[in-house]
Amino acid sequence: MNRFKLISALVLVSFGNLAYAQAAWDVRALANSANVSNRLVLTNQLPYMEMPTSTARTLVNMTDRFSLLSGIYPKILIQQSNNLNAVATYREGQPFIIIDKPMFDLFVKDGGAAAAVIGHEMAHLYLRHSYASIEARQNAAIAGAIIGTLLEILFIGKFGVVGLGTDLGNAFSSGISNSYSRDQERDADKQGMIWALQAGYDPDGSTRLFAALEKTPGVTGSFFSSHPSSAERSETAKERAELFKKYKSIDVLVSPDLLALNKAIDEDRERQIPKSEAGKAGAIAFSKKDYAGAKASYEECAKSGEIACINNLGVLYQFGLGVPVDKKIAVERYKEASEKGSGLALYNYIALYASGNDGPLDTTKVIRLEKDASERGSANAMGTLALTAYMSQSFGFPREWQDKVDSEFPDKKTLVNYAKAAAMRGSKDGQTALGMYYLYGYGVTKNIDLAENYLTLAANANDMRADASLLVLYENEKIDTEKVQKIKDKYKNNSSAMAGLSVLMANYYCKAEASPANSAKCFDLVKKGRSFIVGPVIYGYILTEGIGTKKDSIEGNAWLLYAINKTGHNFATWAYERNIAKLSPLDVEKIKNREKEIAASPNTQP
């Protein structure tokens, strides 16, 4: 078998069979079984264990509760083993929790102990301990896993290409280190226990777990060699339990609606995986930057209507990978794939449409398309829609405009579920949206710790909107001048970014019911950020309304007109036309003249 055929064969192998000599079973798949119980058999067809479907569902529900707190949505595997252990790792960009059967047997009848294990492993994922291990080791044995991870993050996250990360990473390597330092284990104990309390589980479960581990004879594997002693962990758990018991748990139950959204996301991702040999060959060629080869393979399988191939052709033309950039062809391919049901392809199309690549921009059409993509299972569309809705509805725009826009968005309950599902799947928009929801109490109980958690996740992925909200949080809710300065230092050498940060922060202060001090802060921030995308729109509006400053109809409407001419912004058009209908022809002429001055020098002071 030549090298190409070998790689193609490996792509077809499942994660459990490829990465491990042992058998491994996907708990989420077992939880979706129509059977009362599932008989798990080994590769030689010998029975290994019975897994009640209700038990699998309980474990999935528990993991998803932690996902709501951590923003991490892992696959969960039960693994054939004689070891008393559980591990958490990223394999080619996909987070996994892998539980050895003896560990599963130990905690399966104790919800508190199970929460301690799941919380601990989720904390490893959240704290990125796998990647710390990579940085420390820097050896060739894990180079393939790093390539796979980059495929998942760059190609799926940035380009929208599908069917690359997990499959191809497994073809090149078995994964990332699962061994952590004792200090990392202590950190994971602490974070996992905090989440267990927040998710409503018994914090004494950790104490019971460590006591059971200490009494278990004949333990093999790395658990005790790589972890602090059970006696130490048990004593620490007791101390923390007493401390944490004084806090109230929060409602993070995983609703049926949210479970349904996650199922829709899984189904949409399944639609994106290349099924044909040509599709898989295209994915491999793409990973090797052989874009000509990828194009030939994708064109072959696109003829049979394979969604992933059609979508990925759009990606090649959108970004000019091996072909000249042609947004028109990209739009056609994305439309074709979306018509076959792909949420991802529709989301890719929305991005091009919103950039003016398929006719005049209609904001209401964008919202409707995002709703459609969300319903098809696009996690990115869910996050974008949740974020767009909040940022639109939270600013103090006139009621007659806001009522019109609000009618296009889903109800608040749906938006919250969209934000949660998107955040669980690592969407920056979803993380930022959910962070804002918790920061402002939008559709959820206000929770500053959760707000900080989600906003930090997005900010670490360089989301300026998240940084702006963190500045608001650290200046007003959880006062921390050091963190404020750290965020500002991140942008201080980029005047455009500083303008963006200012206008995004203004969202907190520019409320219809704002205090005089906040209104003044609103005006100051928007004035600093008026050169940033929507800055002219908001600056023009607050000048015409006199928010935090003296009302100035000429200057305000000139900035609105500037925004119309520059971006065609819907609200700017609506507000400008409403305003000038009340003005004299002489004032309208003054506005037009002033707009020309602004256009010639956008930084002109009022």
Residue 280's H or E segment, with its range, is helix 277-287
- Number of domains composing the chain: 4
Domain final residue pick, 361, 392, 426: 361
From first CA to last CA, the distance across the chain in angstroms is 73
Are both 207 and 115 inside the same structural domain?
yes
Are both 75 and 118 inside the same structural domain?
yes
Using CA atoms, how far residue 517 sits from 272, 503, 520, 550, in Å, is 51, 17, 5, 14
What local confidence, expressed as pLDDT, does residue 206 receive?
76
Using CA atoms, how far residue 351 sits from 358, 367, 381, 401, in Å, is 10, 12, 10, 25
Residue 428 contacts residue 454 (beta carbons within 8 Å):
no
Give me the domain span that covers residue 62: 3-244
Say how many CA atoms lie within 13 Å of 132 toward its Cβ: 12
The answer to whether residue 250 is domain-embedded is no
- Confidence check: pLDDT of 251 > 60: no
The answer to whether residue 274 is domain-embedded is yes
What local confidence, expressed as pLDDT, does residue 130 receive?
57
The answer to whether residue 267 is domain-embedded is yes
Are both 159 and 268 inside the same structural domain?
no
Confidence of residue 327 (pLDDT cuts 50, 70, 90): very high
- Confidence check: pLDDT of 411 > 80: yes
Are both 212 and 85 inside the same structural domain?
yes
The answer to whether residue 366 is domain-embedded is no
- Confidence check: pLDDT of 261 > 70: yes
CATH no. for residue 465? 1.25.40
Are both 349 and 390 inside the same structural domain?
no
Are both 23 and 90 inside the same structural domain?
yes
The percent helix, strand, coil of the chain (3-state, each to 5) is 65, 5, 30
The answer to whether residue 532 is domain-embedded is yes
Using CA atoms, how far residue 254 sits from 65, 251, 433, in Å, is 6, 9, 18
The answer to whether residue 508 is domain-embedded is no
What local confidence, expressed as pLDDT, does residue 154 receive?
32
Residues near 240 by beta carbon (within 8 Å), at least 6 away in sequence: 190, 193, 203, 206
Residues near 348 by beta carbon (within 8 Å), at least 6 away in sequence: 160, 311, 314, 315, 318, 330, 334
- What are 91-116's pLDDT values in tens digits? 756 788 999 999 999 888 888 889 88
Residue 211's H or E segment, with its range, is helix 205-215
* Position with higher pLDDT, 218 vs 331: 331
pTM (2 d.p.): 0.74
The answer to whether residue 450 is domain-embedded is yes
What local confidence, expressed as pLDDT, does residue 89 receive?
83
Q: Of 48-57, 255-264, 275-284, 491-500, which one has max mean pLDDT?
A: 48-57
Are both 270 and 352 inside the same structural domain?
yes
Are both 84 and 183 inside the same structural domain?
yes
What local confidence, expressed as pLDDT, does residue 326 receive?
96
Are both 441 and 474 inside the same structural domain?
yes
- Confidence check: pLDDT of 217 > 70: no
Residues near 155 by beta carbon (within 8 Å), at least 6 away in sequence: 161, 164, 165, 286, 287
Tokens read off for 523? 């005006």
What local confidence, expressed as pLDDT, does residue 399 receive?
66
Using CA atoms, how far residue 178 sits from 103, 288, 344, in Å, is 16, 27, 32
Confidence of residue 22 (pLDDT cuts 50, 70, 90): low
* Position with higher pLDDT, 143 vs 378: 378
> Alpha helices of 355-410 — where are they, by DSSP H?
363-376, 379-394, 399-406
Are both 266 and 310 inside the same structural domain?
yes
Residue 105's H or E segment, with its range, is helix 101-107
Are both 157 and 266 inside the same structural domain?
no
- What are 456-473's pLDDT values in tens digits? 989 988 889 999 999 999
Sheet holding 75-79, edge to edge: 24-26, 75-79, 94-100, 86-91
Are both 348 and 407 inside the same structural domain?
no
- What are 432-456's pLDDT values in tens digits? 999 999 998 999 989 998 899 899 9
The answer to whether residue 312 is domain-embedded is yes
Domain final residue pick, 492, 508, 527: 492
